Amino acid sequence: MSIFENVNFDDHESVHSFADPQSGLKAIIAVHSTTLGPSAGGSRLWTYASSEQAMTDVLRLSRGMSYKNAMAGLKLGGGKAVIMRPEGDFDRTALFAAFGRAVEAVGGKYYTAEDVGVSPEDMRVVRAQTKYVAGLNEGASASGDPSPVTADGVFRCIKLAADKKLGTSLKGMRISVQGLGHVGYDLCRRLDEAGAQLIVADINTSLVEKAQSRFGAKTVTPDDIYAVEADIYAPCALGATLNPDTIEQLKVSIIAGAANNQLSTSQMGQSLQERGILYCPDYVVNGGGIINIAGEIEGNYNRDWVEGKLQGLEKTLSDILDLASKTGRSTDVIADEMAQKRIGRG
């Protein structure tokens, strides 16, 4: 299939494929838009069944980053990278050094950082090959792993949605969390401190046991998380978990989580609305991490600036929810229109 026939191709400005046989690197970097500034978005290390699957993922993710950065009020465009995890054992340092050279080859149109399967230490290796990297643990403007800031933004949006939809705080609220990675686990910590009752699922059983021990969380299998009775569902794993099969199982009032591209198709937002479920658009809710990264890219990282942008996320989500309530339109359509207008594609 040609990239132009891929249903997720959205007039991306450029798409770059890289291979380095010595390290085993097979990577794709997609630049969706640079209207607001250089594109920025994390790099994902994942086991893909095919290069076509990897291409679909990077196209969807990079478009989402354009929307995310625009809605967060950042001077950044949208880009993303996916690295196809080599089979068997591989030299991680060599792999990320090769990836750093790939980022450098894009010539400053794309800034990378951590995403699923990638750590600040990996970014340190990348930094040795290119300056177009953030999410570092060292350096004058280093801010480290952006995951806690992502979790902070998600937590704020969950509180806001609970107040608007249910008129209550999070104390005693039943919240199901899918995915206990860096963001999901930190989100659980914040929700537990707010008095919420947690129901969690993850393919990593050790993380599930840890959440059960520390937060008193109820645990279910990954396949059963959709059917649990809860007030709020927080998807924090991979995308497309909101699809015709899972939506029919949901017994929640609100969806707000950190995963990217949660809706499998554009029709899913309308389906959720018809079921009376308030969907908080993912690229608004999970914008905290890229806000943190943006401060680092500009070279003058300041926590007060980050805090102001996080408050801006809350305001943006509030405006979307209010407009949806007033007009009867689905929240995802309203958010998409706002984002497209900001990047000049409205």
List 80, 159, 165, 309, catalytic entry: 80
Q: In what order do the strands lie in the sheet with 197-201?
A: 218-219, 197-201, 174-178, 232-235, 254-255, 278-279
Q: Is 68 a catalytic residue?
A: no
Cα–Cα distance, 157 to 160 (Å, whole number): 5
Cα–Cα distance, 187 to 130 (Å, whole number): 32
Q: What are the Cα distances from residue 164, in Å, to 51, 63, 194?
A: 42, 29, 17
Cα–Cα distance, 172 to 198 (Å, whole number): 9
User: Could you tell me if 278 and 165 are in contact, meaning their C-beta atoms sit under 8 angstroms apart?
Assistant: yes
Q: What is the DSSP string of 290-317?
A: HHHHHHHHTT---HHHHHHHHHHHHHHH
User: Could you tell me if 230 and 252 are in contact, meaning their C-beta atoms sit under 8 angstroms apart?
Assistant: yes
Q: In the chain, what is the greatest distance between 2 CA atoms, to the nearest angstrom?
A: 57
Cα–Cα distance, 76 to 204 (Å, whole number): 34
Angle at 58 between CA 35 and CA 7, to 5 degrees: 90
- For 144, half-sphere exposure in the C-beta direction (CA atoms, 13 angstrom radius) is 6
Q: Is 270 exposed, middle or buried (0-12, 13-18, 19+ CB in 10 A)?
A: middle
Helix (H) or strand (E) holding 208: helix 205-215
Q: Which positions are catalytic?
A: 80
